Amino acid sequence: MDWQLVADSFWPLLSGGLTGTIPLAVVSFAIGLVLALVVALLRLSPNPVVSWIGRAYISLIRGTPLLVQLFIIFYGLPELGVRIEPWPSAIIAFSMNVGGYAAEVVRAAILSVPKGQWEAGWTVGMSPARTLGRIILPQAARVSVPPLSNTFISLVKDTSLATLILVTEMFRRAQEIAAFSNEFMVIYTEAALIYWMFCTVLSTGQNALEKRLDRYVAH
């Protein structure tokens, strides 16, 4: 084990994670959540055509590999005259993927709120949209925290796929260092440990958030 190489490569790898991996995951997750809410509301629509559009989107995203989605956006769209830079391509692909997986989580969370809450909002004169935003979604958010947190943690690891479309994040840095030093096992193991460190920190934050939200729920 070349401990000097491990020490020298630690900061470049960590820096790649802090400036590439984490921002890519955060931006994609935020956009994906908005998309997930839209798709979830489509699924809940009483209109069968609108509901079918939501189901079709979820089926398409869940039924195809993330890597294929990434390649279609970055390598496929240019054949149709649409050329997108690596970072926006990665954000679009990851956001669409999160939207497909998180939509069912959001839909289930909304359905978990008792129907009486909707009726209470309508009784005081709230519109459906206002009732959704002021009453339903805050309650649904608490239910959706655990699965959505797991989705985010998975996304942090999935961002390593972005290196295949030339996005500079932590795994890209690991590839560069490994190719230069010819120490693939050492560098990739170190990168894996940093990914594990990120996920451990995020899991700890998830547990703390769940406990905080649980304080406001009567048992």
Q: Tell me the per-residue pLDDT of 208-217, one tens digit each, with 9 for 90 and over.
A: 887 877 665 5
| pLDDT value at residue 209 | 84
Q: For residue 159, give the nearest of 77, 90, 101 by alpha carbon.
A: 90
Long-range contacts of 196-202 (CB under 8 A, 24+ apart): 198/17, 198/21, 198/22, 198/156, 199/153, 199/156, 199/157, 202/149, 202/152, 202/153, 202/156
pLDDT digits (tens, 9 = 90+) for 43-92: 999 999 999 999 999 999 999 999 999 999 999 999 999 999 999 999 99
> What whole-number distance in Å separates Cα of residue 208 and Cα of residue 15?
26
> What whole-number distance in Å separates Cα of residue 25 and Cα of residue 6?
25
| pLDDT value at residue 158 | 94
Q: Give yes or no for a contact between 17 and 172, defined as CB atoms under 8 angstroms apart.
A: no
pTM of the predicted structure, to 2 decimals: 0.90
Would you give the DSSP letter of residue 182?
A: T
Beta strand segments in 16-170, E: none
> What whole-number distance in Å separates Cα of residue 169 and Cα of residue 153?
16
> What whole-number distance in Å separates Cα of residue 159 and Cα of residue 170?
9
Beta strand segments in 47-90, E: none
pLDDT digits (tens, 9 = 90+) for 86-116: 999 999 999 999 999 999 999 999 888 888 8
Q: Give yes or no for a contact between 168 and 41, defined as CB atoms under 8 angstroms apart.
A: no
Report the pLDDT averaged over residues 165-185.
91
> What whole-number distance in Å separates Cα of residue 53 and Cα of residue 59?
10
Length of the chain: 219
| pLDDT value at residue 1 | 63
Structure tokens at 109: 């969370």
